[in-house]
Amino acid sequence: MSRDSAARDLASASYQRCSETPGFFESFYRNFFQACPDAAPRFSKTDFARQNKLLRHAIGLLLIFPKQPDGEPTLLSRVAERHSRRDLDVPPSFYPPFVDSLIATVKQYDPAFSADVEAAWRRTVEKGVSYMISKYDSGAR
């Protein structure tokens, strides 16, 4: 098993534990808005029941994205287009606090959290986050 594959499995198992725990997604947004105050006003009219489902799906995509073959479109093309300058205009500067807030929330909710779990999450979501940032100016065309 490759290092990437082992990291993906570890992060996915962690996500399974977290996402089954009530309050995980709500806590993520609290952590994210604290880490990235500029993001909070963008969610002022958000239906969080719906948003939490979207976030659940998006994190799942980030976790499986590294397994996908290169080339467009990707699993994240629609998400990247939606978050690009041309639509929601989510600036690249929001992604590092997004990842840090995700890790902080996982640390709160995953009883098996460890330095290895954190490293697995960071390694696994890095490719998808880099892809999202790369599509900011161009969209996912």
Q: Answer for the pair 120, 114: CB distance below 8 angstroms, yes or no.
A: no
Nearest Cα neighbor of 80 from 33, 139, 14 is 139
Q: Where are the domains of the chain?
A: 3-39+48-134
The Cα–Cα gap between 131 and 125 comes to: 10
**Which amino acid is present at 84?**
S
**pLDDT tens-place string over residues 116-134:** 999 999 999 999 999 999 9
Residue holding tokens 């993906």?
8
**Tokens 């992060």 appear where?**
11
CATH topology classification for 3-39+48-134: Globin-like (1.10.490)
86-118 pLDDT tens trace: 999 999 999 999 999 999 999 999 999 999 999
What's the CA gap between 63 and 59, in Å, rounded? 6
**How far from chain centre, in Å, is Cα 59?**
4
